[in-house]
């Protein structure tokens, strides 16, 4: 039903994703309604399709962002056990999903977007600053954008409070050749990762599936293969 979710406005797009059950939880719907995709997509922002944003990167289709949020939701919303969720968004690109995640983590939460290309890191920051809400999230430190190799995750030296805690949720927005060990090490116990992975033996092609990776309180890891996708690869930054 994803192809039927396009709209003529942000609210219509989100309502269509809701009606087609791409968005299922009211908290997720509320967060998406707060973030206008027109600030992030270069053209036709309310079409349910991916779009290029330069530097061999794309902004994913809205239904894929919806799927990521729905799967990660228990780990990105505040609770008694997790009052300030810590979320890592690898391949933050346009900054759209980074902003949506920041709307969900609450006042004590934190989202870090990591890009391996400085121009894309700056693009995400600029896009978020197009709205009053986005500017406030950045000013409060609820969102930070950083440049780094997403395959190695991110350890924030500026975040003394978060040292040793790990990330409650990790979203990866590009296809990895495997579930990288450093990402697993940085995932909290319990924690969850949503990551596209190239199918074994396919190389850097289009044989990919989304994996939902859970780490329990004891540190044991369980991986579930969800559905096939087409993402750009999680690789070195392209040479100029």
Q: Go through the domains of the chain in sequence order and give each one's CATH number.
A: 53-229 (3.40.50.150)
Write down the pLDDT at residue 230: 77
Instruction: Give tens-digit pLDDT for 124-163.
Output: 999 999 999 999 999 999 999 999 988 899 987 665 565 5
201 or 199: which leads in pLDDT: 199
Q: What was the pLDDT predicted at 165?
A: 79
Give pLDDT, residue 164. 61
Closest CA to 124 of 141, 136, 138, 110: 138
Report which of 194, 151, 202 is spatially closest to residue 169, judged by C-alpha positions.
194
Of 5, 9, 11, 60, the active-site residue reads 60
With bands split at pLDDT 50, 70 and 90, how would you rate the model's confidence at 229? confident
- Is the pLDDT confidence value at 237 over 90? no
Rounded CA-CA distance 164/240 in Å is 36
Respond yes or no: is residue 67 known to be catalytic: no
Burial class (CB in 10 A: 0-12, 13-18, 19+), 229: middle
- Distance set, CA 29 to CA 23, 67, 117, 121 (Å): 6, 12, 30, 26
- How far from the centroid of its chain's Cα atoms is residue 15's Cα? 21
Residue 236 pLDDT > 90, yes or no?
no
Q: Is the peptide bond before 41 cis (omega within 30 degrees of 0)?
A: no
Residue 99: pLDDT over 70? yes
Query: Over the stretch 30-72, which tens digit does the pLDDT of each residue have?
Result: 999 999 999 999 999 999 999 999 988 899 999 999 999 999 9
Q: pTM for this one?
A: 0.91
Q: Look-up: residue for tokens 């289009």?
A: 206
pLDDT in tens, 164-197: 679 999 999 877 878 888 999 999 999 999 998 8
Q: Which helix (H) or strand (E) holds 200?
A: none
Mean pLDDT over each residue of the chain, to the nearest integer: 90
Residue 203 has pLDDT above 50, yes or no: no
Angle at which helices 26-34 and 10-19 cross, to 10°: 160
With a pLDDT cut of 90, the percent of the chain lying above it is: 73
Question: Is the per-residue pLDDT at 27 higher than 50?
Answer: yes
DSSP β-ladder status, 57-59 and 51-54: antiparallel
Output the pLDDT for position 112: 97
- Mean local confidence (pLDDT), 16-38: 97
State how far the Cα of 240 lies from the Cα of 237, in Å rounded to an integer.
9
Q: Considering just the CA atoms, what is the radius of gyration of the chain in Å?
A: 16
């Amino acid at each position: 039903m994803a192809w039927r979710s396009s709209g003529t406005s942000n609210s219509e797009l989100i309502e269509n994703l809701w009606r087609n059950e791409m968005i299922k939880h009211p908290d997720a719907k509320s967060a998406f309604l707060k973030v206008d995709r027109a600030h992030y997509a270069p053209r036709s922002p309310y079409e349910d399709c991916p779009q290029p944003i330069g530097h061999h990167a794309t902004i994913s289709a809205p239904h894929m962002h919806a799927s990521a949020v729905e799967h990660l939701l228990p780990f990105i919303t505040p609770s008694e056990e997790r009052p300030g969720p810590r979320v890592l968004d690898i391949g933050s690109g346009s900054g759209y999903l980074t902003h949506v995640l920041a709307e969900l983590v609450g006042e004590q939460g934190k989202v870090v977007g990591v890009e391996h290309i400085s121009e894309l890191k700056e693009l995400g920051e600029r896009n978020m600053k197009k709205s009053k809400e986005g500017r406030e999230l950045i000013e409060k430190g609820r969102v930070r954008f950083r440049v780094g190799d997403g395959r190695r995750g991110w350890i924030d030296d500026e975040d003394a409070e978060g040292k040793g805690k790990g990330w409650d949720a990790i979203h990866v927005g590009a296809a990895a050749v495997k579930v990288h060990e450093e990402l697993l090490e940085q995932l909290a116990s319990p924690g969850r990762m949503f990551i596209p992975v190239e199918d074994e033996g396919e190389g850097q092609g289009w044989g990919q599936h989304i994996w939902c990776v859970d780490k329990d309180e004891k540190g044991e890891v369980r991986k579930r293969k969800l559905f096939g996708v087409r993402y750009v690869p999680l690789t070195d930054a392209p040479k100029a």
